[in-house]
Amino acid sequence: MISIGMVNELAIMCQRLGVDVWEVIDAAASKPFGFMKFTPGPGLGGHCIPIDPLYLSWKMKSFHYNARFIELASEINTNMPRYVVSRILEAMNDRGKILKGSKVLVLGAAYKPDIDDVRESPALDVIGLLKQKGALVEYHDPYIPHIHHEHDGWQMNSVSDMMKSVKDADAVIIVTNHKDYDYEAIIKTAKFVFDSRNATGKLGKNHEKVERL
């Protein structure tokens, strides 16, 4: 959790500095020893990493101790879906579009690639926040045919014709980097792509249609 929180904050700082965070990570990964690669994204998901460290933090409060690294990392990671949506809003404004009333397609609902698990998935928060902003949101996930968000009271079905939805959308948001997706075709067909996972890699770098986290 803490390492992911650090790299997520690094992404925010790099954006302010006008630096490509993915180039920074690649440069750091060239170190031949003592380096473990973590990458930023739209938030944390799953049943363990976002939750289990908070049990330790909660327990330490009974010993009058504040687990500051855990609390700060959780705060940063929890805020990433909101940060992603703010970046999408800004990017669309730069392209002369407003988010309210725009068609938005979210690609990927699972909390990590190539699985059928939505527990604590940041995609749910991204979808909910986009809907709050007035966007007309659809999603596609080859592993998740239906979402029922009990807490916020909404449900959605995965679109049946993904490439048609890509073509029709004002913005395509890559939240989960499934290997099944043809990112070259998606970039070619879409009007605008926000890539929160660097799923488009070199294809998306400096591409006029693509903005990366």
Residue 197 pLDDT > 80: yes
DSSP for 16-45, please give it. Answer: HHT--HHHHHHHHHT-SSS-------S---
Among the listed residues 48, 56, 98, 185, the single catalytic one is 48
Banded model confidence at residue 211, pLDDT cuts 50, 70, 90 = very high
For the chain, the straight-line distance linking the first and the last C-alpha, in angstroms and rounded, comes to 19
- Looking at residue 70, its pLDDT comes to 93
pLDDT digits (tens, 9 = 90+) for 59-77: 999 999 999 999 999 999 9
Our count of domains for the chain comes to 1
Q: Is 14 a catalytic residue?
A: no
Residue 146 pLDDT > 80: yes
- Count of CB atoms situated within 10 Å of the CB of 188: 12
Domain region containing 197: 2-212
In one-letter notation, the amino acid at residue 61 is K
| pTM to 2 decimal places | 0.93
pLDDT digits (tens, 9 = 90+) for 103-143: 999 999 999 999 999 999 999 999 999 999 999 999 999 99
Q: Kindly tell me the number of DSSP H helices and DSSP E strands found in the chain.
A: 8, 7
CATH number for the domain harbouring residue 80: 3.40.50.720
